[in-house]
Amino acid sequence: MLLKAGTSNAQFISRGTILYEVKTNLKKTLGNSSWGEGMMDKLPAVKSSFFKLLFSGNHTQYVFDHYDDKDKIPPFLRQNDEKSFWEHQYDKSTYLSNKELFGTLFSIRDSIPKIKWKLSNENRIIAGFNCRKATGIIMDSVYVFAFYTDEITTPGGPATIQGLPGMILGVTIPRLYTSFIALSINPMEKDPEFVKQEESSKIYNRKTVMDAVRKSTSGWNDEGDSNNFLNQIFWNLLL
């Protein structure tokens, strides 16, 4: 049964799939960096991409699904999305992610990062589910605003956003100019078809992948909007 906004929903779902729309403001992401200025006329102002979350109990996978047909996404951005992958094993407190950066696939395996959450009394209906708002901090300084439902029992969400008492269906990350919103939820009686993903020849953890990327970008201009653009790269790598 496919659930959408405005419909009644089943209680305490433990298996299924969720389709998210992810919107990123590319103009603001690139800012006034010299590299960004040369790309402005080749990019849409806002990129819309769609990802699917597969979940069963304590296991989730978050994978690319498709683009909005009207967006003209250049190949280097398509690869970033199409090769991205996240898998969480909450009972083991571990996760694996794949990220494409500068034409290189980085596989990151580490313990699931803990997010400092503060719950509020604000509520919102997303994809037919009543959701409660929470505010969190990731990567020490980046604020995240999330809405979760406890009617889906898996404590997951899009990318590495997780750690609330239920499934996260909506996320806004202002410093990344990015939002995630669940469009539909498909409960299942059996486990969804989880897939085995390619891994890079070298496996990193969160610290070693940041060390590697900092080394490769050490000669970049680190002032003003160029520094902000570098921060966007680092934050997106760990998201």
What string of pLDDT tens digits covers the 239 residues of the chain?
344 433 444 478 999 999 999 999 988 877 665 555 666 667 788 889 999 999 999 999 999 999 887 777 777 677 778 889 999 999 999 999 999 887 888 999 999 999 999 999 999 999 999 999 999 999 989 999 999 999 999 999 999 999 999 999 999 999 999 999 999 999 999 999 998 887 888 999 999 999 998 888 777 655 555 567 778 888 888 99
For the chain, the three-class secondary structure string (H helix, E strand, C coil) is CCECCCCCCCCCECEEEEEEEEEEEHHHHHCCCHHHHHHHHHCCCEEEEEEEEEEECCEEEEEEEEECCCCCCCHHHHHHHHCCEEEEECCCCEEEEEEEECCEEEEEEEECCCCEEEEEEEEEEECCEEEEEEEEEECCCEEEEEEEECCECCCCCCCCCCCCCCEEEEEEEHHHCEEEEEEEEEECCCCCCCCCCCCCCCEECHHHHHHHHHHHCCCCCCCHHHHHHHHHHHHHHHC
Cβ–Cβ < 8 Å for 107, 97: yes
pLDDT of residue 3: 44
pLDDT of residue 94: 97
How far is residue 88's CA from residue 108's CA, in Å, rounded to a whole number?
Answer: 12
* Residue numbers of the domain that contains 200: 15-238
Looking up tokens 């970049």, which residue turns up? Answer: 220
pLDDT of residue 2: 43
Q: Answer whether residue 5 is part of any domain.
A: no
For 32-86, the three-class secondary structure string (H helix, E strand, C coil) is CCHHHHHHHHHCCCEEEEEEEEEEECCEEEEEEEEECCCCCCCHHHHHHHHCCEE
pLDDT of residue 116: 92
Q: What's the structural domain count of the chain? A: 1
Q: Answer whether residue 2 is part of any domain.
A: no
Q: Answer whether residue 183 is part of any domain.
A: yes
Residue 52: closest CA among 3, 14, 86:
86
Cβ–Cβ < 8 Å for 177, 14: no
How far is residue 96's CA from residue 238's CA, in Å, rounded to a whole number?
Answer: 11
Q: Answer whether residue 1 is part of any domain.
A: no
pLDDT of residue 152: 97
How far is residue 98's CA from residue 105's CA, in Å, rounded to a whole number?
Answer: 7
The pTM is what?
A: 0.89
How far is residue 142's CA from residue 4's CA, in Å, rounded to a whole number?
Answer: 30
